[in-house]
Amino acid sequence: MTAPPYLALFDCDGTLVDSQHSIVAGMAAAWQAVGWTPPPAAAVRRMVGLQLETAITRLVLTSKPRPIESEGTGREPMAVFRTDGEPAGRDAHAHTLTNPPPPPEQEHPALNLAPDLLGHLADVYRRTVQGRRTRGEDNDPLYPGIRETLLALDRAGVLLGVATGKSMRGLRHTLDRHDLGSLFVTLQTSDRAPGKPHPAMVERALADTGARPAAAVVIGDTVFDIGMARNAGVTAIGVSWGYHEPDELLAAGAACIIDDPHALADAILALLPGHPASPVLPSPASGPAPTDRQAGIPVSRGRG
């Protein structure tokens, strides 16, 4: 009898690779292109994992863009919002204060970000990131232990996939740069499916591999990853070396938090019911998701 397929579906940015510098540089270039001071790096990291236009929209709301103060430029910052069809102009900041950011589960924020501005910001971001790749400046390293984790899971017969807010072009570049492309059997990107936390990327990965939701695990560093997994009925593992805090991931529904990438393979196998390397654990569908201690997974609580 053929064993059922098992799937480990990884986020990319903040989980497999530390790409924050490329992402922050892209957003800074986009903001500067329209006459704004760059958003704080911490605010940019909060949006990593979302589909690009959604991330930009939320970042505009939360970072409250300010015009670059430079004497003698004569440069007017672009309008941020359109209200009743008219540019918001210099009243944009007042508008942002009365429109708090939408909850993470709402994929398309209900606001009228000027379409020409949104398109321009996204275009500048993409050109900047692609230019860094061309010049060899996208030093987005693998987190220590990730390569070993992927190889161990592959040897254990677990199918590997990626679900990311990157474009397919960007994802393939990252995997090829680290010589990992051949390990993954399903690649899901937000330019070909609805972005996180919508479950579509997980559902497509399940369809690609034939894995059942109970035989799959999503691994990610943000609440968007955890929400996507939960929306698809799949167990989620949170990792602490990325861009959201462990407590946030647990509150969003992560089954456990892993602090050491070298412990990740064992944690994944432990949460795949029926896998030869898995202890007897409750099915995710049969009760509350196990915590790190319930699953018997060694986890350090530091932010190493």
Domains detected in the chain: 7-18+141-286 (3.40.50.1000), 20-134 (no CATH)
Give the Cα separation of 67 and 263 in Å (integer).
Answer: 46
- Residues whose CB is less than 8 angstroms from the CB of residue 89 and which lie 6 or more positions away in sequence, other chains included: 79
pLDDT of 291 strictly over 60 = no
Tokens representing residue 231 in the block: 């929306």
Q: Tell me the per-residue pLDDT of 99-158, one tens digit each, with 9 for 90 and over.
A: 334 444 343 333 456 778 888 999 999 999 999 888 887 789 999 999 999 999 999 999
| Residue reference for tokens 């319930």 | 294
Are 208 and 185 within 8 A, CB to CB?
yes
Our measurement of the distance from residue 165's CA atom to the centroid of its chain's CA atoms, rounded to an integer in Å, reads 6
Three-class DSSP category at 10 = strand
Q: pTM above 0.85?
A: no
pLDDT of 259 strictly over 80 = yes
- Residues whose CB is less than 8 angstroms from the CB of residue 33 and which lie 6 or more positions away in sequence, other chains included: 120, 121, 124
